[in-house]
Chain A
Amino acid sequence: MIVANRKPFAEIKEMLQGYHKVLNVGCGTCVSVCLTGGEKEVAVLNIELEMARRLDDDPIDIYAHTIERQCDREYLAELDSLIENEKFDALLSMACGVGIQFLAERYPHIPTFPAVDTSGLAVNQAVGWYEERCRSCSQCVLGFTGGICPITMCAKGLLNGPCGGTNKGSCEISNEQPCAWFRIYDRLSGQSRLDAIKKINVTRGWKDQAPRNLIQPGYKKPEKMAK
């Protein structure tokens, strides 16, 4: 899933300076699972904002609404009438970067602000602990790395590791960080597949250096959005 972390309160408050009627939109999917931007977190942030602005003698009228998925037009449509009727002067989103952009795009006349910092594609390792596992590089190498991603988990994104900095199984950056390539070696060795990394992995072209679109075979962009 996509994980995000709430921005520091001071930063959110600063962004909303000068706005008095705001809708805070949560998302019920990934950011909700990682305890950052679901219904509960929206409510908590709103209370904090109301209190802080009241103390500043600059009250804010802040609404809450959490939809199932902010990255999906169908669910976003739910907000149309509320936004039409209430005339908000700003929107705050607690969805991931994708959701925030989709919200901003649907209501382009209203300033939209992010309340979270989106940090990656992660697994839920334990309650409250999310570990990044994929940088969506568009060229998956997991096939020869024993199912462990070096692009994400190796601090240098090496394709021919482990480097000389490996420290008893930890990465050179910290004793807390396992060396991805040490783990790759271990797993492949257990599968008697070390040959997979004994050969040189040649330089690859990075496929994530320009905006990416995915259009499945048999589909195309609708005419009116194609431009």
Chain B
Amino acid sequence: MSTETNSKSESNLEKVLKSGQFAFTGELGPPRGTDAEEVREKSKFLKGHVDSVNITDNQTAVVRMSSWAASLIAIQEGLEPNYQMVCRDRNRLAMQADILGGSALGIRNMLCLSGDHQQFGDHPDAKGVFDIDSIQLIAMVKQMRDEGKFLSGNDIHQPPKMFIGAASNPFAEPYEWRVHRLAKKIEAGADFIQTQCIYNMDRFREFIRVANEEGLTEQVYILAGVTPMKSVGMARYMKTKVPGMDVPDEIIDRLKGVEKNKVADEGIKIACEQIEEFKEMKGVHGVHLMAIEWEHKVPEIAEQAKVLPRPVFD
């Protein structure tokens, strides 16, 4: 793996992956206000159940507590954050400043994203920044970390330590392009990948098969994205309203096939079956569980998916 040669990020997630164990990461959305308690509450459910927790950055272009601030609260709660950063809201100056600040205060993982277009969010008339794109962001963090240089080429006094993450969506067309894009992200410097929520297993198997064939899964750790469906409505919404999401009818039919009060359990069951398959799948190194506004279910899901206890390193 590329990461074995170049970085000691001090990230727990990195240690888990390098030790060859199946990683399990979670997600936490910061509040739409100043209530730190809300972050602490959600953290309790995640602590001890995941190796690292993604802290979303103005997800779906809706303003929330900044992702680095919520990351720090998560650290106080004993979690390891995976600090998400989108290209939509910051230029290269602000990004580099936040990377330095985050690293100084103990953030060790970053997920580099383009970000949903501002048109989706609560400030649709905002000016989208997109000074650099997600691939350029990955390359910038790598340069800062490995060469100790800002994008401008100037030296950084005490470079940041980061385990660099990127996203991948195997379900967006053109499909053949998705593996090339993965290769580009690896070349740019991604250490690990978290994929879009997977529902279409056939398509995902095919994606991983090609990635294996091209040798990409030996150069980067891949965490398969899993989001349990809470309801039939949610499944329908994901299918029709969320760009780049591929929800096969079988999933919806399966949810519809159980009693109303059992739908959420069925959603979790489907997710756990997927996780079982990912554990065995060559080229998949872990699972990223996005239990959106369902943090309190994480202990139960982790239990049911048999990913506990999580490894501990000194």
Contacts and interface: CB of A to CB of B under 8 A. Distances in A.
Interface of A: 155-169, 172-173, 182, 185-186, 189, 194, 198-203, 206
B139 to A, nearest CB: 7
Contact of B243 (A158, A165, A203): A165
Interface stretch (B102-110, B183-191, B256-264, B276-284): B183-191
A156 B117 contact: yes
Contact of A172 (B87, B128, B187, B244): B244
Contacts of B116: 165, 172
B294 interface: no
B132 A163 contact: no
- The main secondary structure of chain A at its interface with chain B is loop
A203 B136 contact: yes
B177 interface: yes
B36 interface: no
A183 to B, nearest CB: 11
Contacts of B131: 206
A204 to B, nearest CB: 9
Given A164-B168, A165-B243, A200 B188 contact: yes
A167 B120 CA distance: 15
Given A200-B187, A203-B136, A167 B172 contact: yes
Contacts of B88: 156
A128 to B, nearest CB: 25
B119 interface: yes
B232 interface: no
10 cross-chain pairs, A with B, having the tightest CB-CB distances, nearest first: A164-B169, A172-B243, A160-B135, A167-B243, A203-B136, A166-B172, A158-B133, A165-B243, A156-B130, A163-B114
A223 to B, nearest CB: 37
Given A166-B173, A200-B184, 14 more contacts: A156-B88, A156-B115, A159-B136, A160-B134, A160-B135, A160-B136, A163-B172, A164-B169, A165-B243, A166-B243, A182-B173, A198-B183, A200-B135, A202-B136
B133 A164 contact: no
Contact of B117 (A161, A173, A182): A173
Interface string B176-206: 0100110110011000000010000000000
B173 A168 contact: yes
B174 interface: yes
A162 B117 contact: no
A159 B139 contact: no
A207 B116 CA distance: 25
Contact of B134 (A163, A169, A185, A201): A163
A198 B179 CA distance: 10
A158 B173 contact: no
B184 A198 contact: yes
A156 B174 contact: no
A127 B251 CA distance: 46
B241 to A, nearest CB: 10
B92 interface: yes
B140 A203 contact: yes
Contacts of A203: 92, 132, 136, 139-140, 151
